[in-house]
Amino acid sequence: MKKISLWVAGAMLLWVSSVRAADQKAPAAEEKFDRQFTVVAIEQDGSKFWIPGTLIVKKGDKIKINLINNIKSEPNTHGYAIDAFGIKEIIARGEPKAVTFTADKSGIFTVYCHQHPKHIGGQILVLE
């Protein structure tokens, strides 16, 4: 009798721990990206940049770019646009945003601030 209840208790413990393991796996269902970047807008000697200015990825990569606007002078917002991938975001100082897309074509594509075309832009190089 004791042996049986021990077996039942063991089975219960296994069941409880497997349920727990399943629970812990839940956050892993989060979206996965092949490449992630953090790109920061800064001002230096009167010029405004998104740094790093060049991003290099491979065709087919799922990309996430975290955008932080650290420019202290006015205006409060700057744009981050990549026409080739339909990206057009406005990022306010102190309010980071992320953009995600799949780099589904190879080539060199322009990155720019669509709010202020005079700001120094960059490029994304998508390798074949």
Which residue from 119, 122, 124, 126 is in contact with Cu ion, where contact means CB under 5 A?
A: 119
Least distance to Cu ion, CB of residue 115, Å: 5
113 lines the binding site for Cu ion (CB under 5 A): yes
User: How close are the terminal C-alpha atoms of the chain, in Å?
Assistant: 68
Contacts (CB under 5 A) with Cu ion, residues 67-86 = 78
63 lines the binding site for Cu ion (CB under 5 A): no
- How many binding residues for Cu ion (CB under 5 A)? 5
Looking at the Cβ atoms of 84 and 90, the one nearer to Cu ion is: 90
Burial label, 106 (beta-carbon count in 10 A; 0-12, 13-18, 19+): middle
Least distance to Cu ion, CB of residue 41, Å: 7
C-alpha 105/C-alpha 126 separation (Å) is 7
Burial label, 24 (beta-carbon count in 10 A; 0-12, 13-18, 19+): exposed
* Stretch of residues binding Cu ion (CB under 5 A), selected from 6-14, 16-24, 32-40, 108-116: 108-116
116 lines the binding site for Cu ion (CB under 5 A): yes
55 lines the binding site for Cu ion (CB under 5 A): no
Burial label, 60 (beta-carbon count in 10 A; 0-12, 13-18, 19+): middle
Give the distance from CA 20 to its chain's centroid: 29
Chain residues that interact with Cu ion, rule: CB under 5 A: 78, 113, 115-116, 119
